[in-house]
Amino acid sequence: MNIIEGGVCAAKGYKATGIHCGIRKNRSKRDLSLIVSEVPASAAAVYTTNLVKGAPLLVTKEHLQNGQAQAIICNSGNANTCNANGIEIAKQMGQLVEKEMGIAANDVIVASTGVIGLPLSIDPIAKGMKKLVAGLHTEGSHEAAEGIMTTDTKEKSIAVEFTIDGKTCKMGGIAKGSGMIHPDMATMLVFITTDVSISPTMLQKALSSDITNTFNMVSVDGDTSTNDMVTVLANGLAGNAEITAEDENYASFMKALNTVTVGLCRMIAGDGEGATKLLECKVSGAPTLDIAKACAKSVICSSLLKAAMFGADANWGRVLCALGYSKAKIDVEKIDVSFQSVKGTILVCKDGAGVDFSEEKAKEILLEKEITILVDLHDGEEQSTAWGCDLTYEYVKINGDYRT
């Protein structure tokens, strides 16, 4: 498994681009992206659990009923959510791809991100389609990644190369996600492409399985979005025998998928709105996986712990507090807690009680950009990891006037 360049264009047969079409007032920011496979592909998706769902999600669910897609179109700057004509606009986005490229509208994944409840006109998208399609190229992943960003400050992109059935395969992904990020799928937009040949059923199985330990374990602010989803296209151009069962080739595919998704999880968490630090909570020694996940999520979601990490304050009591209200059945008198970064590791809690430690050393560790919170429950063999970020003054500033 090798990390490579190329994002969603790394695999064979994909082109992408992103342009400014006029949805966003800032002309320097791209607001419309397109990703296209040269052949129809197996397709899978997972969606937000929020009962309020953006129109694009409803249209995409309809389009993916046959497990196939060939293109992804996404706009930023407007979520197309809670609009009377939202379904109509979302369908028109797919129809515009069909008109310009000949790809059936039903084979188009449609996505939108931005302000909720703001009417979205199809006019700028329609006017920009010729330019968008003309700009498609095999190194366009960067442009597409820019076109889906809202409050993101960094492009989120990753790609890997691996082998299945003796064939060289590639997989890449781009993501947007900075605020309104909270576990329970899917609180971001993620587009993944691969040239592996895999049946739609197995692709959906792989994605649905993977997200329980990756994207469902990310939290920035406790708010689950209305619009977001994770999608995967697999066009089969690598030439491997189609994966139709949970065999060794499926295991290799899952490993590649997990490498891509974990990479994107870390990027999303580290670029949380106003964030200065990536937080990672690793829980070990749990009696069950569910307990490990519940504990890791609870710690990473704690506003008090997030604030302490912003201030480089080794307030380990907030970790214990979060574990205590996680509803997981744990023995608090067995818990060890340590803080870790590139500056070292420091034990701050042993058997559920404080220990003597150097506050100066702890602060040195916690001043780093990436912090790991190590929790050992000493009650089993299961483990889990969750990702988040610190809570800063800037988060309030960003969201205080996000709409206006």
Cα 5 to Cα 14, 71, 172, 329, 352: the distances in Å are 14, 21, 9, 44, 45
**HSE-up of 369 (CA within 13 Å, CB side)?**
6
pLDDT at 271: 78
Active site members: 187
165-219 per-position pLDDT tens digit:
999 999 999 999 765 555 544 347 999 999 999 999 999 999 999 999 998 888 7
Topology, domain 2-270:
L-amino peptidase D-ALA esterase/amidase (3.60.70)
**HSE-up of 228 (CA within 13 Å, CB side)?**
26
318-365 per-position pLDDT tens digit:
999 999 999 999 999 999 999 999 999 999 999 999 999 999 999 999
Domain boundaries, the chain: 2-270, 278-400
DSSP symbol at 63:
H
Which pTM value belongs to this model? Answer: 0.84
Contact 231, 56 (CB under 8 A): no
Query: Phi and psi for 99 in degrees, rounded to 5?
Result: -65, -40
Which residues touch 305 (CB under 8 Å, ≥6 apart)? 299, 315, 318, 319, 322, 373
Average confidence (pLDDT) over 9-22: 98
CATH architecture of residue range(s) 278-400: Roll (3.10)
For the cut 50, the answer to whether the pLDDT of residue 392 exceeds it is yes
Cα 96 to Cα 133, 144, 214, 239, 354: the distances in Å are 10, 18, 34, 31, 62
> Which residue, 191, 133, 187, 185, is CA-closest to 157?
191
